[in-house]
Amino acid sequence: MKEKFISFSLNRSLMFALVALLAVGACKSKKKAVQPEPTPAPVERVQETPPPAPAQPSAEEVAAQKLESAFNSVAGASNVSMANQSIEQTLAMFSNQQTPVLIVIHEENGIKDYDEPTTIRKYLEYLKDTKKNLNYISDIRLDANGKVSELELRRK
């Protein structure tokens, strides 16, 4: 009988401890719910500035795009008369037919080596003959009238 009494009191104390533990756990969660949340710091309203307008391409960039297109049309012309017509239209973009065209063949530590200097007329005739545009515009200089006064090319 003494064993029954001990096991009965042990079961009772375990049950009591479990109920007490649940009650304490429940109280903690109520305390968290009852405590007021801290007020958020006031947010300063900054007037939103409109996004900057997209940058307009410079005159050099526009001229370079037009020249690339013109070079490709000269090189890709289907016959000689179309190539000659494209050459005449392209020459109108230059200050004169003797405008220098420099082709960079090598660059190291900022020092450039150029192929033999040529003129725009000769370069356009070269494009017409080879039917290949192997160079791209790396530097372009415009005069006061907005026409090309010097052109630097590089291999693609």
Opening angle at CA 128, ends 124 and 130, nearest 5: 110
**pTM of the complete model:** 0.65
- The reported pLDDT for the residue numbered 48 is 72
User: Which sequence spans correspond to the domains of the chain?
Assistant: 1-34, 59-155
- The reported pLDDT for the residue numbered 115 is 92
Q: Which CATH class is domain 59-155?
A: alpha beta
Tens digit of each residue's pLDDT, the chain (156 residues):
455 545 556 677 767 776 666 666 655 555 555 566 677 666 666 667 777 777 888 889 999 999 999 999 999 999 999 999 999 999 999 999 999 999 999 999 989 999 999 999 999 999 999 999 999 999 999 999 999 999 999 988
